[in-house]
Structure 1
Amino acid sequence: MTPVEIEKIELKYLNKYYYFLKFAEDEMFAGFKTKEAIKDDWFGLYGSSEGEGISDFAVGAERIVYSLINGKGIGQPNSSPVGADLFFEVEDAYIHIDMKTVNLNNIGDFTNSIFIGENQNSYKGTIKKRSGIEEVYIPALPTFYNKGKDNEKICLSYFITILYDKEDLSIKIISIDSMPNGELEYHYKERPLRAGKNPGKARYDLKEVNQFELLPNKPSRIKVVYYDETMSDDLQKKLKLFKTIYNNQH
């Protein structure tokens, strides 16, 4: 499979999941609202965890989104213990999907780069730290499953990201992002990777790599499923990339 063919299939499934999430948008938000009926029994009892990619909003939101995707039967779920939270096999690929929730207080974790686990991507590369030290990042996923065999299929990584207000748990943006397959390292080099908060951990640098650079017109690697147009002007300025993508989709 050529690098261009890799980006074509990455874009193919990015579009497929974007349209699915748009189709299920009303069901998603109906699911998000179900917490309100029992608010007196949970409000004030939840808390934040300190790890990257974990928030007080994460568990409930993930439950809703994952139930919708699983319920529609997109591909065959795979039981491998190594993989993202959702792992499907389709006709021409193995697809890993993970979900990230970020509150407005940590907006840079949404606009600049997002935490990625080793089980969620196939991009091996060198991370340049602020200290000047270079660290080799080794993911747990292969670039292709059964590489070199008759049943070889590419490994694709996607992240559904939600930006929300911690004060009232209102959602500001829902997007889905496509991280480059590790075979594209020859082109993107170290640009998709940034140092995580802990040694050996990494982040996907959305600010640096957010286009399919090998395809005509360089389509975006980010699709905005939902954008709250009532956000303040100051907040929308901070979310300029996502606003531009959202506007270009409409």
Structure 2
Amino acid sequence: MLTDIQIEQLESKYLNKFYHFLKYVEDEMMYGFQTKELIRNDWQNRYGNGQAISDFAVGAERIIYSLFNGKGIGQPNSAPVGADMFFEVDDAFIHIDLKTVQTDNIGDYTTSIFVGENQNSYVSEIKQSNGESFDPPRPYNPALPKYYNFGTPQEKICLTYFVTILYEAGNLNILNINLLCMPNGQLEPIYGHSVLRAGKNLGKVRYNFSAIPNFNLLTNQKRIKVVYFDKTMNPNFLSRLSFIESIYDRL
């Protein structure tokens, strides 16, 4: 079992590794997002604009998956519970999930994101925005363990990351790409209930990343990496992304 600071060191290690990887392949990634334009006439009329916007999330995720998988980062794991990408490295099991949001739903993106039970290990209580408990209280028990093979010689920490993509409704242009690290469940005494925020439906949660932008036990290291940020975007969108822009400007 690792100490709390050792967990944060590992979380930061892979956050930086994945960030530099995405920056390294940024040209290929952005080109991949644009490949839809080469055959737009063949798909736009078939799906209709609304359906095309919805399905673009699938296409964007396909590009990210191919880049990660093509570089052979770790051993993919076939367990039925886990994030979109789940693989093993020498010192951890790593879950990476992709979240794509269009500007019509920008409120679901700017300070927190929805997370599923099979995407994190953070056991805590979901509290109201004022910090008080709901009546009755809402305990949150995710599906992932803090460690895999806990208590055995094969024990390894479970790490959780998210790639978030904001794209513009209508023209499908990419406006922002972030890489986030959600704390391992062992760190609940360090971060408390601030990591979680009540979702739109009972029992669902959001990762409240704006409330914990830093690694609390490390010096000057952030849990958020801004991979791409289009400062020429519509000012209305830009104003809504002020928190993310501030992170981008400090990287």
TM-score interval for Structure 1 and Structure 2 normalised by the shorter chain: over 0.9
The one-letter code of the counterpart of 1:111 is: T
**Aligned-partner residue type, residue 33 of structure 2:** F
Shift of 1:187: 1.2
Residues 44-91 of structure 1 show CA distances to partners (whole Å, capped at 9, x for unaligned) of 515469xxxx94431000011101100100000011111001001000
The aligned residue for residue 104 of structure 1 is 103
Distance, in Å, in 1 between the alignment partners of 2:226 and 2:157 is: 24
The one-letter amino acid paired with 1:237 is S
1:2 corresponds to which residue?
3
Q: CA deviation at 1:199?
A: 2.1
Per-residue CA deviation, residues 10-61 of structure 1 (Å, 9 max, x unaligned), is 0000000001100111111111111112111221515469xxxx94431000
Q: How does 1:1-250 map to 2 (within 5 A)?
A: 1-44=2-45, 45=47, 47=50, 55-129=54-128, 132-133=134-135, 134-217=137-220, 219-249=221-251
Q: Distance in 1 between matches of 2:54 and 2:91?
A: 34
TM-score (norm: length of structure 2): 0.92
Q: Distance in 1 between matches of 2:167 and 2:127?
A: 30
When the two structures are aligned, how many residues end up with a matched partner?
244
Contact 1:124 1:137 in 2 (8 A): yes
Equivalent-residue separation in structure 2 for 1:118 and 1:225 (angstroms): 26
Cα 1:94–1:220 change in 2 (3 A) is same
Q: AA paired with 1:211?
A: N
The answer (yes or no) to whether the contact 2:103–2:237 under 8 Å persists in 1 is no
Letter in 1 for 2:238: Q
Structure 1, gaps ≥5 residues long = none
Q: Report the Cα distance in structure 2 between the residues aligned to 1:80 and 1:215, rounded to whole angstroms.
A: 32
| 3-state secondary structure, aligned to 2:109 | helix
Higher helix share: 2
Instruction: Confirm or deny: 8 A CA contact 1:160 1:177 kept in the other structure.
Output: yes
Compute the TM-score of the two structures, normalised by the length of structure 1.
0.92
Contact 1:93 1:153 in 2 (8 A): yes
What RMSD, in angstroms, separates the aligned Cα atoms of the two structures?
1.8
